[in-house]
């Protein structure tokens, strides 16, 4: 029935160009609708990608801050240990110098010459 109607309408000289324009307009509207839907999907996808990127950046920033804090504590601990070892070493050096001085004094008091290997008198 529709076919017969189209056949009868196609005989008219004004209907054929109108039908062509209507078909073209319909296809144009469908294309515009498809483009709009595709664009909406792209916008949503970009929005989701940006949200995910911001979340990753925030997590990375927090992890970096945490690592820096850990490293700061470790550096402070190592600095304290170095200071402690330096103090201990200085104490040991002073003890050795005191023993050296006492030995030299004892050698002088007893008239024993100080060997050259021990350094200046």
pTM exceeding the 0.85 threshold for the entire prediction:
no
% of the chain beyond a pLDDT of 70 = 81
Secondary structure class of 7 (helix, strand, coil): helix
The H or E element spanning position 37 is: helix 15-109
pLDDT > 70? residue 66: yes
Q: How confident is the model at residue 112 (pLDDT cuts 50, 70, 90)?
A: confident
Helix 15-109 × helix 2-10 angle, to 10°: 110
pLDDT > 80? residue 69: yes
CB 114 within 8 A of CB 108: yes
């Amino acid at each position: 029935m529709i076919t017969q109607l189209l056949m009868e309408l196609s005989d008219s000289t004004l209907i054929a160009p109108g039908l062509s324009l209507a078909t073209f307009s319909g296809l144009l509207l469908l294309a515009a609708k498809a483009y709009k839907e595709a664009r909406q999907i792209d916008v949503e996808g970009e929005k989701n990608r940006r949200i995910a990127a911001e979340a990753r950046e925030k997590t990375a920033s927090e992890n970096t801050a945490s690592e820096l804090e850990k490293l700061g504590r470790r550096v402070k601990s190592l600095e304290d240990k170095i200071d402690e070892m330096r103090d201990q070493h200085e104490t040991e050096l002073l003890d050795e110098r005191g023993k050296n001085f006492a030995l030299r004094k004892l050698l002088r008091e007893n008239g024993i010459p100080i060997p050259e290997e021990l350094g200046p008198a």
